[in-house]
């Protein structure tokens, strides 16, 4: 906190995620009446001294957010971009169906959790690697928010999960996360399309019209599928900020 007499003029916090441990998340807020006078920068300097390990900071925001201008002034480097991600369910027919896609409901929960963790690990490994034992934190509460009926998996001949589209219903509209379970999955684009198409179809049959996606520009099978859906919305940046 920053004080002016008894008045709190700014507050900030840093924390390590339970899934990643490569950077400290950084959050700072300054009294609107006191902005642009160096308080935010000074607070980041103080928070830097509170780090338990010598790791840089991480922050996120829409590209046009003032938070990102502040981050840029602190020397931010973009480590990931999240593209516009809202799509009309009607456009699902732009995606190819795939014969190996089946409902997620009925698949052993532990297999789904393992596949999700595998997908999460490789899609983050090049820019924000997971920490050891991240799986537990990743899947905690998963089944509270996941809609198994509106989620889909693509499987091989022995039932192994090759790709998945997980539909989360704790937001409005619902949110789909989709990728293959390994980076080099042959036919990965088609498998992911098929999973997403099925998940979107279930939502559409419920009378819904829109869906959001959560993915990254570096997701090689997801992004081509998303691009076929003419998504709208705002670009989002994840940035690394060097510790001062």
Give the interface with ligand COA as residue ranges (CB under 6 A): 26-30, 35-41, 59, 66-67, 69-70, 73
In the bound state with ligand COA, the residue whose beta carbon lies nearer, of 30 and 191, is 30
Beta-carbon count within 10 A of 118 CB: 18
Rg (CA), the chain: 20
**In the complex, which residue's CB is closest to ligand COA?**
40
Least Å from the CB of residue 80 to ligand COA: 16
In the bound state with ligand COA, the residue whose beta carbon lies nearer, of 27 and 90, is 27
Least Å from the CB of residue 56 to ligand COA: 13
In the bound state with ligand COA, the residue whose beta carbon lies nearer, of 61 and 231, is 61
Least Å from the CB of residue 216 to ligand COA: 20
Contact 178, 190 (CB under 8 A): no
In the bound state with ligand COA, the residue whose beta carbon lies nearer, of 58 and 176, is 58
Least Å from the CB of residue 12 to ligand COA: 8
Task: Give the helix/strand (H/E) hosting 163.
Answer: strand 161-168
> In whole angstroms, what is the distance from residue 140 CA to residue 18 CA?
11
> In whole angstroms, what is the distance from residue 61 CA to residue 64 CA?
8
Least Å from the CB of residue 8 to ligand COA: 12
> In whole angstroms, what is the distance from residue 135 CA to residue 233 CA?
30
In the bound state with ligand COA, the residue whose beta carbon lies nearer, of 57 and 116, is 57
Least Å from the CB of residue 61 to ligand COA: 7
Q: Give 231's contacts (C-beta < 8 A, 6+ positions apart).
A: 83, 84, 85, 86, 87, 213
In the bound state with ligand COA, the residue whose beta carbon lies nearer, of 29 and 230, is 29
Query: Would you call 183 exposed, middle or buried from its count of C-beta atoms within 10 A (0-12, 13-18, 19+)?
Result: middle
Beta-carbon count within 10 A of 157 CB: 6
């Amino acid at each position: 906190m920053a004080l002016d007499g008894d008045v709190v003029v700014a507050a900030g916090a840093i924390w390590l995620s339970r899934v990643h441990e490569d950077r400290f998340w950084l959050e700072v807020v300054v009294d609107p009446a006191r902005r642009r006078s160096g308080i935010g920068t000074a607070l980041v300097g103080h928070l830097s001294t509170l780090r338990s390990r010598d790791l840089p900071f991480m922050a996120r925001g829409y590209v046009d957010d003032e938070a990102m201008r502040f981050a840029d002034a602190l020397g931010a480097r973009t480590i990931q971009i999240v593209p516009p991600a809202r799509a009309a369910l009607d456009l699902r027919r732009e995606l190819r169906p795939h014969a190996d896609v089946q409902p997620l409901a009925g698949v052993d929960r532990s297999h789904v959790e393992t596949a999700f963790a595998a997908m999460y690990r490789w899609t983050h490994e090049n820019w924000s690697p997971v920490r050891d034992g991240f799986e537990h934190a990743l899947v905690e509460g998963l089944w509270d928010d996941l809609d198994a009926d509106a989620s889909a998996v693509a499987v091989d001949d022995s039932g192994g999960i090759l790709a998945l589209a997980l539909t989360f219903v704790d937001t409005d509209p619902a949110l789909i996360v989709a990728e293959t379970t390994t980076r080099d999955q042959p036919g990965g684009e088609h498998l992911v399309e098929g999973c997403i198409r099925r998940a979107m179809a279930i939502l559409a049959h419920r009378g819904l019209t829109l869906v959001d996606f959560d993915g990254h520009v570096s997701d090689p099978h997801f992004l081509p599928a998303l691009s076929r859906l003419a998504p709208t919305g705002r670009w989002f940046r994840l940035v690394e900020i060097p510790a001062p």
